[in-house]
Amino acid sequence: MSLTTGPAVPQAAVDKSPDSGGKSGRTRRGRRSLSKHNLTGWLFSTPFLVLFGVFMLFPIVATLLMSFTDFGARNVTRPLEAEFVGLDNYTQLFQDDKFLKALFNTAYFVVVGVPATIVLGLLAAILLNNGIDRARTLFRVGFYAPVVTTIVAVAVVWRFVLDPSDGLIASLASEVGLTAPDFLGSETWAMPSLITMAVWRNLGTVMVLCIAGLQAIPADVREAARLDGAGAWQELRGITVPLLRPTLLYATVITTIGYLNVFEEPFVMTQGGPSDSTLTVSLDMYREGFNFFHMGYASAMAYVLFVVIMGITVLQLRLLKDNTR
Amino acid sequence: MTADTATKARPRRRTGGVRTPLLYTIASVALLVMAAPFLWMALSAFKTKQDLTASPPVWIPSRWTLDNFTALLDQLDMPQYFLNSLIVAVLVTVSNLLFCSMLGYALAKLDFTGRSKVFAVVLAALMVPGNLMILPLYVLMNGLGLIDTYAGLVLPFAAGAFGVFLMRQFMLSVPDELLEAARLDGAGEWYIFWRIVIPLVKPALATLTIFTFLGSWNNFIWPLIATNDPDKYTLPVALATFANDPNRTVGGGNGMLMAGSLLVVLPVLAVFIVLQRHFTQGIATAGLK
C-alpha cells in the first residue's frame, strides 16, 4: 500500500514487510536464517524493548488499573494502598458537568479545526506545487516554520496578537473604526481563537504530506485531463482529491489525534477559561491529576480519551482501507 | 479562503499569462499572514514600553532597545534553562539514534522468532497518545527519586516508536547481498550493523536527529510535570511559568515575554532553515505507512 512516495524511501523497500513473504523460496531462506539470527535479533531488540516496557507499556497498564481506584495524593508515595472502587470513577465522569464540557470543547476543537487544517493545507500544497516555481523554498519554509517552533513561545505571542487593549488585531481594527472582541476573554471567541492558532500552526504538516502525494501523481494523468478540457475545479475534484485520498486520510488521522490531545494552547493562552469555555480533556486531566491529585479520576479521563482516539482512528483507517482497494 | 480563489481562477493552460503573478500575489499574502506572529514577536522584543503599548500598533521600533533582554536575563536564569533544554535534548537524541537503529536493523535485516510481533508492538505504540502515560509515570519517577533530575526528563523519551519505524523503512533498502557478503567474510552482526549499515543510512539518521532533538526541545507537558525546582526547568516550562505569573510587571513584562519567546524559538528556526530539506523528507516518509 503506497500512500505517498517520499523521495527518501524507494517504493520497493516499503513492500518488503516481514510478513508479506510466503513464497516457497523465501520461506526456506527465512527458516535457515531464523536459527542463525534468533539470538542476535533479540539482542538488538532488547534495549528498546526494556525502555519501552518500563516507560510506556507499564504506565499504559498502570493508568488502566489506577482508573479503578481512588488513587490520591497520599498514594503517590504509597501506590499500593489505593482502594479499588470499580467503575465509580467512570460513572462519576459522565455526571461531571465540567468533564462533559471539556469533552464538548475538545469535540468542538476537532470538528472545526481538522477540516480547516486539511483544506488550507491542501490548498497551500496545490498552490506551491503548481503555481510557484521561483522562491519555492522560501514559501515552503514560511508555511512549515510554525510547525517546528516551540508551542509555548508562539502561544505567548498569540496571546499578545489577540490582546483586546494593545494587541495587533485590536489595534488594526480600531484603525478602521471597528472594535475587536476580547478574543481570549469571551466565551464565544476564546475557542475559535485557539482553533485559529492551531490551524495556523499545523497546516504546514498537511501541506508537506500533500506535496509529497501530489508529486506521486503522474503528470500525464493531469495532462490528459487538461486536454479533455477539464477546468481547474474539475481537475481538483476529479483527479487531485481522489488520487490524494490516502494522503488526506492519513493527514486527517494524525491531525485528529493531535487535536484530541490539545493541551498547550489552552494551558498557556487561556488556562481553560473564561468559565471553562476552553477547558479541554487533556487540560482537565492535568488539573485533576496534578493540581488536585485526583489521580484515579484523572486516569479514568485519560482512558475515556484514549478509547475515543482509538475509536476514531480505527474508523478513519477503515475508511482508508476501503478507499484504496 | 485566499487559496480557494486561486484554484478557481486558475486558467486551463499551464502557461497562462495572468495566472502566475496572481498566484504569486496570493502566495505572498498567505506567507505574510503566516509570518506575521514571528515578525511581531521579533520586533516587539526590541521595543520600548511606549512602543509596546502604542495604538495604532508600531511595527518597527521607534527606538531599538535591548532592555527587554537584559531585564529578562536579570529576572530569569535563561542560561540555566537553555542548558537544561540542551542537555535533555542531546541525551534523548543520542539514545534514540542508538536504540532505534538497533531495533530497526533487527526488524529490517534479522529474521528472528517474534519479529512480526515486535513490529506490531512498535506500530501500536505509534498510535498511543502520550498523555495516557503521564499519571503513573509521575508516580514511578517520584518513587525512583527521579523528579527534578535529567534522568527523569530523558528516560520516558529515550526510545520512541517513530524512530524505529523510520530506521526500519530505510534499512529495508540496504541490499541483503551486501550483508551476506560481509557475513561470508566472517564479520559479526555488530560489525555489520556499525560499519556497513549505519554509514549507509546516514540520511535517515539525520532526519531522526532533527525530529527527536526538536521534539525534545519543544516538549512541554512532561517537563512541566517532572520538574518542581526552577533550576531544572526547561525553556518552555520557564517561559510558560513566567507568562502565567500574575506578579509579572505588566508593561515591561510583555517586552520580556517577547524577548524570551524569541530566545526559545530562534535556535529552532535557525536549525530548521538550514536543514529544511530533511524535515520535508521525514514528514513524507512518516506518511508512507
At residue B247, φ and ψ (nearest 5 deg) are -85, -5
User: Which value, to the nearest 10 degrees, does the dihedral of the CA atoms of residues A114, A115, A120, A123 take?
Assistant: 130
Contact B31 A142 (CB under 8 A): yes
Q: Where are the domains of chain B?
A: 21-64, 78-287
Question: In chain A, what residues touch B139 (CB-CB under 8 Å)?
Answer: 62, 75-76, 79, 295
CATH of domain A96-320: 1.10.3720.10
Q: Where are the domains of chain A?
A: 41-85, 96-320
User: What are the CB-based long-range contacts (under 8 Å, 24+) for A66-72?
Assistant: A66/A295, A66/A296, A66/A299, A66/B135, A66/B136, A67/A296, A67/A299, A67/A300, A67/A302, A67/A303, A68/A296, A69/A296, A70/A296, A71/A295, A71/A296, A71/A299, A72/A293, A72/A294, A72/A295, A72/A296
Closest residue to A231, CB basis, from B12, B254, B285: B12
Q: Is A260:B129 a contact under the CB 8 Å cutoff?
A: yes
Q: Does A206 touch chain B (CB under 8 A)?
A: no
Neighbours of B147 (CB within 10 A): 17
Find where cell 458537568 sits: A97
Q: Please state the rounded mean pLDDT for residues A183-189.
A: 89
pLDDT band (50, 70, 90) for residue A52 = very high
Find where cell 516496557 sits: A53
What DSSP state is assigned to residue A69? B
Closest residue to A45, CB basis, from B103, B218, B279: B103
Q: What is the pLDDT of residue A166?
A: 73
Q: Is B31:A142 a contact under the CB 8 Å cutoff?
A: yes
Q: Please name the residues in contact with B123: beta carbons below 8 A apart, sequence gap of 6 or more.
A: B161, B165
Handedness of CA B110, B114, B115, B116 (dihedral sign): positive
Disruptive mutation site among B32, B132, B200 for chain A (greatest number of A CBs within 10 Å): B132
Find where cell 526541545 sits: B217
Disruptive mutation site among A119, A156, A301 for chain B (greatest number of B CBs within 10 Å): A156
Disruptive mutation site among B44, B135, B144, B170 for chain A (greatest number of A CBs within 10 Å): B135
At residue B145, φ and ψ (nearest 5 deg) are 70, 30
Question: In chain B, what residues touch A70 (CB-CB under 8 Å)?
Answer: none
Question: In chain B, what residues touch A306 (CB-CB under 8 Å)?
Answer: 128-129, 132
Q: What is the pLDDT of residues A77-106, one digit of tens each?
A: 888 888 899 999 999 999 999 999 999 999
Closest-CA distance, A149 to chain B, in angstroms, reads 6
Neighbours of A111 (CB within 10 A): 13
Q: What is the pLDDT of residue A160?
A: 85
Find where cell 522560501 sits: A138
Q: Is A198:A109 a contact under the CB 8 Å cutoff?
A: yes
Closest-CA distance, B117 to chain A, in angstroms, reads 10
Minimum Cα–Cα distance from B139: chain A residue: A76
Beta bridge partners of A84: A69
User: What are the CB-based long-range contacts (under 8 Å, 24+) for A213-220?
Assistant: A213/A3, A213/A4, A213/A125, A213/A243, A213/A244, A213/A246, A213/A247, A213/A248, A213/B287, A214/A125, A214/A126, A214/A129, A214/A240, A214/A244, A215/A5, A215/A129, A216/A2, A216/A4, A216/A5, A217/A243, A217/A244
In the CATH hierarchy, which top-level class contains the domain B78-287?
mainly alpha
Give me the interface pTM, i.e. the ipTM: 0.84
Closest-CA distance, A295 to chain B, in angstroms, reads 7
Q: How far is B286 from B166, CA to CA, in rounded Å?
A: 7
Contact A226 B103 (CB under 8 A): no
Q: What is the pLDDT of residues B232-267, one digit of tens each?
A: 999 999 999 998 887 776 545 788 899 999 999 988
At residue B95, φ and ψ (nearest 5 deg) are -70, -35
Q: What is the pLDDT of residues A137-177, one digit of tens each?
A: 888 889 999 998 899 999 988 988 888 877 778 877 877 87
At residue A60, φ and ψ (nearest 5 deg) are -60, -45
Closest-CA distance, B69 to chain A, in angstroms, reads 15
Q: Is A301:A223 a contact under the CB 8 Å cutoff?
A: no
Q: What is the pLDDT of residue B284?
A: 67
As a 3-state breakdown, chain B gives helix, strand, coil percent values, each rounded to 5, of 75, 0, 25
User: Which value, to the nearest 10 degrees, does the dihedral of the CA atoms of residues A298, A302, A307, A313 take?
Assistant: 160
Q: Please name the residues in contact with A35: beta carbons below 8 A apart, sequence gap of 6 or more.
A: none
Q: What is the pLDDT of residues A236-273, one digit of tens each?
A: 888 888 888 888 988 998 899 999 999 999 999 998 87
Residue segments in chain B with a per-residue pLDDT below the cut of 50: 1-16, 251, 289
Question: In chain A, what residues touch B102 (CB-CB under 8 Å)?
Answer: 44-45, 47-48
Q: Does A299 touch chain B (CB under 8 A)?
A: yes
Question: In chain A, what residues touch B204 (CB-CB under 8 Å)?
Answer: 8
pLDDT band (50, 70, 90) for residue A11 = very low
Q: What is the pLDDT of residues B106-136, one digit of tens each?
A: 999 998 889 999 999 998 888 888 889 999 9
Disruptive mutation site among A3, A35, A36, A45 for chain B (greatest number of B CBs within 10 Å): A45
Q: Is B23:A126 a contact under the CB 8 Å cutoff?
A: no
